[in-house]
Structure 1
Amino acid sequence: MPLRFVEPAAEAYGFPLVIGQLLNSCLLTARDNEIVYRDRSRFTYPAFRDRLGRLASGLAGLGAGEGSTVAVMDWDSHRYLECYFAVPMMGAVIQTVNVRLPPAQVALTLAEARAEVILVHRDFLPLLEAALPGLAGVKAVVLIADGVDLPAPAWAAIEYETLLERASPDYPFRDFDENAVATTFFTTGTTGRPKGVSFTHRQIVLHTLACCGMFGASRRRGLGIDDVYMPLTPMFHVHAWGMPYVATMLGLKQVYPGRYDPTLILDLRAREGVTYSHCVPTLLQMVLTVAEARDEDLSGWMMTVGGAALTRALCEAGRRRGLQVVAGYGMSETCPTVIHARSFARDGLDDPAEVAALTLAGAPIPLVATRIVDASMRDLPADGRSQGELVLRAPWLTGGYVADADASDALWRGGWLHTQDVAVRHPDGAIQIRDRLKDVIKSGGEWLCSVTMEDIVAELDEVGDVAVVGVPDALWGERPVAVLVPAPGATVTAERVDACLDAAIAAGALSRYARVGRIAILDALPKTSVGKIDKKALRLLLADGTL
């Protein structure tokens, strides 16, 4: 029997899943909730909608239109949130520029995205000025003075707030195809040339809805209408994990910290009543260090940690301050959230299994299909031990890389998105990320999980930060080296590191080959532009004898 379909009424509305639809409810139900930027700006949702219309009208007057790329170079601010909505709502594409990339790569990404209008914060004027000679397609530059009275460079058309003041709030936003591209940005390039990814309106709307649903899959609190939201993941990086779209759809009070300063972040949390944030482990450690120095209680604040493994030591350090810390997982190619930690514990936050559950990557969020497979794409058992590559399907995963067909084909080999992350699935369905394929250490015929080793070493009181990488070895193939940042005033020895690893080996948590025998000491570990530990840089330092 053939499939059956309902014949719609002649005037039935097709309801395209475009970003503007996320505003339908919040403009009615959250009229008094505020969007706050540091101590410099504070306005309600109706005022936010007014500013969206003005921004779209102003950009249109500068030559932006449907299909144009509008690039943004700013700190985390209300302006960025306005661009998240106004630019795609007018049918243009927002390019969130990673301002922490090397200047040559910033120029490359602007050129490859074909930016026509660029909004640039005053702090990044030299960066953009150096790139402009190679950007023939740029029609206009908008200066973001950010409250400072400074003359605009001759190549800037107008200042951001002046643009909005002079523009009409009544921009005629219209419906269009939900499969139109809404956003584009470039991966961080730790493995070479940055690769461009793009996401459609439909993908972002579905990701937003699924992220709302993921918090209902745990007995711990999540994100709801009573929360106050402050992102601590750069807004240039994968839509700040998509959470500004979620917070706006729910009509939450939102707080934007601008350039990250741990002291300011804690001040904003206390003053504005922030209850939910997300960040990478590096930033969380910085915030906790300041909180410890101030003896500040962080109770009532939930923090999702991603971008790198959440260690037990960091999770417990947060909990001692009253912070509820949970792990999440995603990639630039996945919009990004696909997995989030959850807890089934019933006996409160002190349940012995709680930390173990919340430091796993967690369970797939709604609409995400996951597999753990071997090199032949055969499924591995959910026994918590069998390691393979995590592959994914979801309606918001990028379809490929911009202008890179070979990399796109490799990403989607076999009809599943290949994460290049080594993972195991536990019997309860929870997924644990063990390592990146490129970071797995192959020693004595066995795979050593650098993430597990780091988690164990990080529990030593004398260790402030740690990364474990493999170096070539004539006998074993590779041997692990622990690169350490000592805690203030502490001394770390290889013997002390191996003693804690030996205990884990005896308990069956690690292979017998997981002893380092060698450590390297640094004042700080090298980080990528989004705050992840740069293991490629560490391997190069070890290879050339710098360490």
Structure 2
Amino acid sequence: MTTILNQHEDYQQAQEAYGFPLIIKQLLNRAKIASKDQTISYADKVTYTYAEFFKRVNRLANVLKTMGLQPGDVVAVMDWDSHRYLEAYFAVPMSGMILQTVNVRLAEDKVLYTINHSKPKALLLNAEFEPMAKNYRHEAPSIEKIIWLDDTEYGEDNIQTQQASMPDYVEGEYESLLAEVSDEFDFPDFDENTIATTFYTSGTTGDPKGVFFTHRQIVLQTLSSTLASALSAEGQGARYNDVYMPMTPLFHVHAWCWPYGATMIGLKQVYPGRYIPEVLVDLIEQHKVTLSHGVPTILQMLIKEMATRGRKFNGLKLSVGGSKLNEGLAEVAIESGIEFISGFGMSESCPVVARAVFDDKTDVMSMDEQISYRCLSGSPIMLVSMEIWDENGKALPMDGESTGELVMRAPWLTQSYFKNPDAGDELWRGGWMHTQDIACITADGTLKITDRLKDVIKSGGEWVSSLEVENILSFHPCVAEVAVIGIADEKWGERPLALVVLKPEHVDIKAEDILALGHHAVEKGYLPKYGVPSEIKFLREMPKTSVGKLDKKKMRMMYAEKLI
């Protein structure tokens, strides 16, 4: 920047001008002035003001410094969604350290793999995960300091109980450690390209892969995603008077960066702990939550729980992503009072790159058109460039018909995988990030994901979109969940197989009744004849990944092993 300014003598930078690096501490600037009295809650356990939050962030930074941790050190967190997690979101990277958000839903050996791969020097450990972590002092030698997180009610009567329950290998209990240090800390400025966070994708093959993001990337993602949300029509996006509660885990892609965004705006915030449907709905009703996000599985859980109470939601705006939302579930969501907004992102994209746009065009749509539109993946948010490539790397027209792999560029996309440059080179072939999603883009810029490369089915030389078939079958009133996978076929190469979880009150339905929807779709021209599944197999529950997405890899494996 200085070099460019020095090219002309009239544009010299003032000697004391502040360069304003785009680092995470800048996200707190507005809230420190305008939201000091706003509140942050952890379920029904703790509520405090932003003013107290800022002090606690300072205290946590002092605790880490007192323990001898240095800029560049990795600090891992194993916790449910809590006020402590939010404090770590800021205190750790603002101290120049790297925050590792550990996916506690992975298998124990995979959790240990991610710990040993990133080599944190400190671990914030919820007591609930102590059985999983008890041998870390032997099996994860990089960890030198462990801070105990205890959800026991705070108070003088419980201090001895907490201390008695702590393992001898921890440094101390979180609240006690915070109470022992100053609530003042001067967070320094540093290069905005410093790594701020790392986490590991759940992966579909092999070991999880680590992605990492810089301060600059997180700040730009937070700004652009928040702006895209706020630009939509009233009742659809973020507003100053919203009440925010995450329903995407804080260990997964920064909870879609909304904890950063909500804190930047200064919203009232509620953190629910573990995701239990009854607790989520209780908190939504108690705190009048209006803004959240989650995968379709979470949406389904909310609808089911509220239905058991005989009530509807009132003013809940839910961003839905992570996997394709089918129109059958979307229809039920609208009926239950949830204003849902679809979008698109991935672990490697920090994550949001596309979001549904609500404007004059959507105002005149019929309800059926609205539902179809809402189930698409939205339009690119600000600063995102997208193209559709054929198998030779040639860009295809954005005409709503030409289909190929979605590739993209944005200033917050991960630049590689941690300690895995070969995978990073594959991700960034040709200077564009390859999503491995098959998609098309309409003339007005709306993105439609038609399948994942690994999930698309080729039957008799023709491509079948598993997502399209799932969408059609989801309209049957007896279907709770549906997934379509490709299975080997001697004649056609592959044929689609539908896996269905029925609603409890409809367990006697026959496969032919559901497949009739597919045949009807063929008659109407919505589906090719070869797209109708050969058969349906009923499951009690659908295999899912650690973050609630349909696990089609596991489904294919189960079918091959004759487990379904």
For the aligned pair, the TM-score class normalised by the smaller chain equals over 0.9
**How big is the shift at 1:419?**
0.4
C-alpha separation between the residues in 1 aligned to 2:112 and 2:140?
8
Shift of 1:463: 1.0
More displaced, 418-427 or 492-501? 492-501
- What pairs up with 1:470-509 in 2 under 5 angstroms? 470-490=486-506, 491-509=508-526
Question: 1:489 aligns to what SS in structure 2?
Answer: helix
For the 8 Å contact 1:422–1:433, the answer to whether it is kept is: yes
- Which position in structure 2 is the counterpart of 1:520? 537
Q: Percent same amino acid at aligned positions?
A: 46
TM-score normalised over the length of structure 2: 0.94
SS at match of 2:233: coil
**Using the alignment, how far apart are the partners of 1:63 and 1:538 within structure 2?**
47
* AA partner of residue 354 (structure 1): Q
Check the 8 A contact 1:315/1:326 in 2, yes or no: no
Describe the SS at the equivalent of 1:424. Answer: strand
User: Post-superposition shift, 1:476?
Assistant: 0.8
Following superposition, the deviation at residue 349 of structure 1 comes to 8.6
SS in 2 for 1:218: coil
Contact 1:62-1:117 within 8 A present in 2 as well: no
* Equivalent position of 2:344 in the other structure: 329
Paired residue for 1:118?
A: 123
Please report how far the alpha carbon of residue 354 of structure 1 lies from its aligned counterpart in structure 2 after TM superposition.
1.6
**Aligned counterpart for 1:398 among listed residues 414, 418, 443:** 414
1:542 — aligned with what? 559
Question: Does 1:51 find its partner at 2:66?
Answer: no
Shift of the 461–329 alpha-carbon distance from structure 1 to 2, 3 Å rule, reads same
- Counterparts of 2:272 and 2:403 in 1: how far apart (Å)? 40
In structure 1, list runs of 5 or more residues that go unmatched. Answer: none
Specify which of 8, 22, 25 is matched with residue 13 of structure 2: 8
| 2:204 is the counterpart of 1:187 | no
Q: In the alignment, residue 273 of structure 1 is paired with which amino acid?
A: K
TM-superposition CA deviations, 1:463-516 (whole Å, max 9, x none): 111100001111111100001111113234332233211222233322221111
1:380-426: CA deviations, max 9, x gaps? 22232221111010000000001112111110000000000011112
The alpha carbon displacement at 1:318 in A equals 1.2
Report the CA distance between 1:262 and its aligned residue.
1.0
The residue number in structure 2 matching 1:25 is: 30
* 8 A contact 1:76–1:257 mirrored in 2: yes
Alpha-carbon distance in 2 for matches of 1:130, 1:183? 25
The aligned amino acid for 2:437 is D
User: Structure 1 residue 216: deviation in Å?
Assistant: 4.2
Aligned length, in residue pairs: 546
- Calculate the TM-score normalised by the size of structure 1: 0.97
User: Aligned pair in 2 of structure 1 residues 131, 518: CA closer, same or farther (>3 Å)?
Assistant: farther
Q: Give yes or no for contact 1:342–1:358 (8 Å, CA) kept in 2.
A: no
- Report the CA distance shift for 1:360/1:292 in structure 2 as closer, same or farther (over 3 A): same
1:511 is the counterpart of 2:516: no
Alpha-carbon distance change, 130 to 508 in structure 1, aligned in 2, over 3 angstroms:
farther
1:356 aligns with 2:372: yes
**Paired residue for 1:176, among 190, 197, 206?**
190
- Give the secondary structure class of the aligned counterpart of 2:557: helix
* Aligned with residue 224 of structure 1, among 199, 223, 239: 239
**Partner SS for 2:224:** helix
CA displacement at 1:346 relative to structure 2? 5.5
Output the CA distance in 2 between the equivalents of 1:251 and 1:390: 35
| CA distance in 1 between partners of 2:214 and 2:416 (Å) | 12
Do residues 158 (structure 1) and 163 (structure 2) align?
no
2:452 corresponds to 1:436: yes
Deviation at 1:348, TM superposition (A): 7.3
Give the C-alpha shift of residue 146 in structure 1: 1.3
> Following TM superposition, by how much is the alpha carbon of 1:171 offset from its aligned partner in structure 2, in angstroms?
1.8
Retained in 1: the 8 A contact 2:231–2:237? no
Aligned to 1:311: 326
Confirm or deny: 8 A CA contact 2:362 2:370 kept in the other structure. Answer: no
Greater displacement, 182-191 / 504-513: 504-513
Give 3-state SS (helix, strand or coil) of 1:468's partner: strand
CA drift at 1:217: 4.3
Match of 2:397 in 1: 381
SS of corresponding position for 2:280: helix
Provide the residue aligned with 1:287 in structure 2.
302
Aligned partner of 2:129: which letter?
F
* Counterpart residue type for residue 205 of structure 1: V
Q: Verify the 8 A CA contact 1:495 1:517 in the aligned structure 2.
A: no
1:425 aligns with 2:441: yes
Structure 2: how far apart are the matches of 1:513 and 1:88?
Answer: 52
| Equivalent residue, structure 2, for 1:456 | 472
Bigger drift between 397-406 and 345-354 goes to: 345-354
**Greater Cα shift, 212-221 or 10-19:** 212-221
Q: CA deviation at 1:362?
A: 0.5
**1:105 corresponding residue in structure 2:** 110
C-alpha contact 2:484 2:499 (8 A) present in aligned 1:
yes
1:429-472 Cα deviation digits (max 9, x unpaired)? 10011111000001111111101111111110111111000011
Q: 2:357 aligns with which of 325, 332, 342?
A: 342
Q: Deviations over 1:189-229 (max 9, x none)?
A: 22221001100000000001001211244335200211000
Match of 1:257 in 2: 272
Q: Distance in 1 between matches of 2:231 and 2:33?
A: 28
Counterpart residue type for residue 344 of structure 2: Y
Letter in 1 for 2:243: V
Cα deviation digits, residues 158-191 of structure 1 (max 9, x gap): 0011111111111221101100000000000222
Query: Is the 1:467–1:484 Cα contact (8 Å) retained in structure 2?
Result: yes
- Whole-Å separation in 2 of the counterparts to 1:446 and 1:350: 33
